[in-house]
Structure 1
Amino acid sequence: MKYVTTVWQDHGFFVDPRAYLAELPTFQDRLPAGAREFACDPAHYALGHGNSRCVKDLALSGIHVPTDKSGGLTLECAPNQWKHDSGLRISYSGVTHFSVDYEHAIDWMPVDTVLLDEILPDEDGGCVHEISLTDATITVRCQDLRAEWGDARTDAAR
C-alpha cells in the first residue's frame, strides 16, 4: 500500500491509516462515486472500540468471481463478533485486475482478517482497492465499487 501501514511487530500487527487520511482530501474528487463514499466514510478508519463500521478485523468469508466476462467481482467479509454489528459486501464493477498475493503464513488464525485497506484513483478514471489481510493482500483495479454493510452471507466466522 502507498499510504496505509500494516506491519507485523513482535506479537501483533501495527496498523496506521493516518498518512492515507491526510492525503485523501487531495485525491478524493478523482475517485469514482462509490469508492469515494466508502473511502470518505468517517467510520471506515475509526479504529477505536464501539465503531462497528471500521473495516479492521472483518473476516474474509467469500470471493465471488463470475465465470462470464462481465467485469464484476464480489468480496464478502464476516463481522468480528466483538466489534461489528454486521458483515460487509464489496461489489466491484468494470474489474480489469484482481489478485490475491500471499506474503506470509500465520497458521494459528482460522481465517484471514482485514488489517486495513486503501482506495486510490486510477489513471483511467477508476480506482485501485488494496486490502491488507493477516496472511495476504487483495488488489482490485476497477471502474467503481459499492460497499454495503448488512447481513451478507457472512455470519460463518462468528
Structure 2
Amino acid sequence: MKHVRVEATGTGNYLDPRAYLGLLPALSAELPPGARAFAADPDHYDFSGLRCVKDLVLDALQRGIADGEDWLQLGFRHNCWKHEEDLSIRYIGLSTRNPDPADWTGFGPVTLDEILPHRHGCSHEIGFLGGSLTVVSRDLTATWTEADCPDK
C-alpha cells in the first residue's frame, strides 16, 4: 500500500492508516462515488468501529458481465468478536485484478485496505495476514448486511 502502513513486527502487525486519512479529503474528490463513500465511512479505519474492515475474512467471489462490463464481487465474513455485519464489495467496470482470483484462498483476515484514484476509476488494495490483492475498476459498491452472530 502506498499510504496505509501495514508492517509485521515480532508480536503481530503494526497498522497505521493516519497518512492515508490525512490525504483522503483531497483524494476523495478524484474517487468515483461508490469508492468515495466506502473510503470516507467514519468506521472504515476505526479499529473499534463495527464497520472497520480489519479482521474480515474473504469467503466468496463471483465474476460476471453486465451491460457489457466485467464485474467482480467479493464477500467478506464478519468476525463475531468485532462485527455485526458481513461486507460485500462489487467492482464495476473491472480493469485488472492482481493476483489471479484462484490464488486468493487462504489469505486469512484483512489487515487494512487503501482506495486510490486511478485513470480507470479507482484501485482498491486489500491487505491480508497472508497476502494482498488489488482490484482496479470504474467504481465499487460496498454493502454491509446483518450477520448471524450467535454469541451476541
Return the alpha-carbon distance in structure 2 between the equivalents of residues 63 and 11 of structure 1.
Answer: 31
Partner in structure 1 of residue 127 of structure 2: 132
**Percent identity, aligned pairs only?**
42
CA-CA distance at 1:53 after TM superposition: 0.6
Contact 1:78 1:87 in 2 (8 A): yes
Gapped regions of structure 1 (runs ≥ 5): 102-109
1:88-145 deviations in Å (ceiling 9; x for gaps): 00000000101238xxxxxxxx761110001000124x00000001111110000000
Determine if the alignment matches structure 1 residue 72 to structure 2 residue 38: no
Q: Is the 8 A contact 2:84 2:146 kept in 1?
A: no
Q: Which has the higher strand share?
A: 2
Q: Distance in 1 between the 2:111 and 2:93 partners?
A: 25
Across the two proteins, how many residue pairs are aligned to each other? 143
Partner of 2:112: 116
Letter in 2 for 1:85: E
- RMSD of the alignment, in Å? 2.0
Whether the aligned pair in 1 keeps the contact of 2:73 and 2:88 (CA below 8 Å) is yes
Structure 2 counterpart of 1:144: 139
Give the TM-score taking structure 1 as reference length. Answer: 0.83
Matches within 5 A, 1:1-158: 1-48=1-48, 51-66=49-64, 70-100=69-99, 112-124=108-120, 126-151=121-146
| Cα distance change of structure 1 residues 111 and 133 upon mapping to structure 2, 3 Å threshold | closer
For structure 2, the residue ranges without an aligned partner over 5 or more in a row are 101-105
